[in-house]
Amino acid sequence: MNGAVDPRRRVPRTDVLLADPRLAAAEATLGRARLKAVLVAAQERVRRGEIRPEEVVPATLAALPETAAGLRPVLNATGVVLHTNLGRAPLSAAAVAAVVAAAGHTDVELDLRTGRRARRGRGALAALAAAAPAAGAVHVVNNGAAALALVATALTAGRRQHGEAAGGGPAGREIVVSRGELVEIGDGFRLPDLLASTGATLREVGTTNRTALADYAAAVGPDTAFVLKVHPSNFVVRGFTAAVPVEELATLGVPVVVDIGSGLLAPDPLLPEEPDAASALRAGAALVTASGDKLLGGPQAGLLLGDADLVELLRRHPLARALRVDKLTLAALEATLTGPETPTWRALRATPAALRLRTERLRDQLAADGRKAEVVAADAVVGGGGAPEVTLDSCALALPEEYAEPLRLGDPPVLGRLERGRLLLDLRCVPVERDEAVRAAISRVPRSRRES
């Protein structure tokens, strides 16, 4: 009889392994339950003879996620700067540091000088006010849709002077809006559904392609709460069209609310057709709503800018409490507004020459590794429902399309786009210090048949 001990019987006990200093450090970051689940899986691999008993700890460490959250950082090589599925705007280093600093106890609602309660998020609000000097006051809620919902709820409160809602009860006051601006954005979200959910009554004017000032004027009456102008940010209507500018709508004698969507606070020559908050306010808008995680380059937030009395009405409305942002968002927003250029704008302003240089360097490195790749001209886009007609001259590394899945499933995941049977990797949104990570990820992919 063979006296050799089956190595699978030498699997270290779980309690002994959990006491290993290397795993103890991981437990502090990930928690005991997650660590133990990965550890047990590694022990099972020993029992199946896949690894040796002394490899349990290294195998466990290799299989552990970097954080306790399920979200995985990815490298965005799609050429879409504000990719909604990838979380839109990446935070700047300054904003990330601010979030970390605010993660513990903070003075978010406390005046340390007096020891008394203070205005929540006053630093972020002051930074936003400074960035939008045309606004009489500012407020922040948790996203762009929430900003518009709060405006519709607060300004249409009360009852119509005449008639009732279709359901038999009294309806909210009217919002006058062009039919051509009742937009649908991602995942089936429709603006008219949001507005109707607040109890307001929509008064549609004009047609899908043409709306005149006279259409608005004929609809405005005692029941009108405000005129709403919406930037149709993810599509463009061309041809026989007409729309009414804010300065003309401001002559109608009722508040004009402008939803610019993308969060551009001031005009920028790179995006000359994109509406901005400063221009809308100077043209006579009573309120402007926008998102914080698009062209502003900050965290998800809904920005409210405009008339001081109206902003105060919104701030004091009961719904505002349900829509308020947390301290981490406030910290990130303030750092975005006061800090250095954001990753979003660095990506938008990246020059084709600089991108080509990086891409050619990556191609040459891969060639030294025996990989065939080509540098091709490409078009990048803004994304995030902004500047739908703007294309940014760029370039990309072209690989066989078989690379797409293993790169997407790798560590870190690298996402490109498939075009005409090739995978294109555009480095515009990849930080330059991560170019080596892209190269390493490509080098780990088994060569396709076309490369053999």
Peptide bond into 232 cis (omega under 30): no
Q: How much is the mean pLDDT over the chain?
A: 90
CB atoms near residue 20 (< 10 Å): 17
pLDDT above 80: residue 187? no
* pLDDT for residue 6: 59
pLDDT above 50: residue 132? yes
* pLDDT for residue 136: 97
HEC letters along the chain: CCCCCCHHHHCCCHHHHHCCHHHHHHHHHHCHHHHHHHHHHHHHHHHCCCCCHHHHHHHHHHHCCCCCCCCCCCEECCCEEECHHHCCCCCCHHHHHHHHHHCCCCCCCEECCCCEECCCCHHHHHHHHHHCCCCCEEEEECCHHHHHHHHHHHHCCCCCCCCCCCCCCCCCCEEEEEHHHCCECHHHCEHHHHHHHCCCEEEEECCCCECCHHHHHHHCCCCEEEEEEECCCCCCCCCCCECCCHHHHHHHCCCEEEEEECCCCCCCCCCCCCCCHHHHHHCCCCEEEEECCCCCCCCCCEEEEECHHHHHHHHHCHHHHHCCCCHHHHHHHHHHHHCCCCHHHHHHHCCHHHHHHHHHHHHHHHHHCCCCCEEEEEEEEEECCEEEEEEEEEEEEEEEHHHHHHHHCCCCCEECEEECCEEEECHHHCCHHHHHHHHHHHHCCCCCHHHC
Band of pLDDT at residue 162, cut at 50, 70 and 90: very low
Band of pLDDT at residue 53, cut at 50, 70 and 90: confident
**Of the candidate ranges 76-90, 175-189, 323-337, the one whose mean pLDDT is the lowest:** 175-189
Give the tens place of pLDDT for each residue, 89-108: 999 999 999 999 999 999 99
* pLDDT for residue 79: 96
Give the tens place of pLDDT for each residue, 331-353: 999 999 999 999 999 999 999 99
More confident residue, 46 or 405: 405
pTM: 0.87
The Cα–Cα gap between 360 and 362 comes to 5
pLDDT above 80: residue 177? yes
pLDDT above 90: residue 161? no
